[in-house]
Amino acid sequence: MTTSGNLPRLRLEDWFTSHGEDGIIQYHEFFRGVAQARYVVRKVVRIVDEQAKSEGLDPLEHQLLLQLYGSEQLVLGVNKLAARLDVPAAVVSRMLKSLESRALVERRQSGVDRRGTDVFITESGKNRCVAIWDHVKLHVDYFQKQLTEDEKLLALGVFGFYVGVAMHPVPADEKERNSSQVR
């Protein structure tokens, strides 16, 4: 464990020692890592939400646009959007009315299932996403500079744990071997 001022700094290697074969064995170390990862998530979400608001969008409306822009065909059904946003379809329908009135999305009857509605992001919607991203990037770049490499790796390790991807740290002696081979 390294130190930062008077506070011991938790590294990814330290966080992994909180895990045993049967689960968490050192809860304090485990929750220190979770707290750091949650801090990073909350900070980035707040930055994105503030920039969405500065562009006249509710954060959930912005998330809806991102889901459309990030979809494979730039189109999703209302129920799929509801699932991706983790909200009821009625909430999505209300948001779509507002976004459609601002020409950020278009709704059309589904070509696959006539009972369904497909939602498309418009060029204006895409442009709004890009404008928000340009502002977000400035703030996130600054935030990233405030984090140490250990803090960044720890956040990634915890996120990996949440989604079931083991991100075991590279042992220090192996790091030294790898860095000497790069030269």
Residue carrying structure tokens 């009135």? 101
pLDDT in tens, 101-158: 999 999 998 878 778 899 999 999 999 999 999 999 999 999 999 999 989 988 888 8
pLDDT band at 18 (very low <50, low <70, confident <90, very high): confident
pLDDT band at 175 (very low <50, low <70, confident <90, very high): very low
Is residue 179 scored above 60 in pLDDT? no
For domain 8-168, is the CATH number 1.25.40.10? no
Is residue 88 scored above 80 in pLDDT? yes
pLDDT for the residue 163: 85
| pLDDT: which is higher, 112 or 84 | 84
7-9 and 117-121 beta bridge pairing: unpaired
pTM of the model: 0.80
What Å distances lie between residue 181 and 149, 171, 175, CA to CA?
21, 16, 10
Q: Residue 35: which of 2, 65, 9, 61 has the closest Cα?
A: 9
pLDDT for the residue 135: 97
**CA angle centred on 80, ends 76 and 81, rounded to 5°:** 75
170 CB-near residues (< 8 Å, 6+ apart): 178
What number of helices (H) and strands (E) belong to the chain? 8, 7
Q: How many CA atoms lie within 13 A of 11 on its CB side?
A: 13
pLDDT in tens, 26-83: 888 888 889 999 999 999 999 999 999 999 999 999 999 999 999 999 999 999 999 9
Tally of residues, the chain? 183
Residue type at 176 in one-letter notation: E
Domains of the chain, by residue range, sit at 8-168
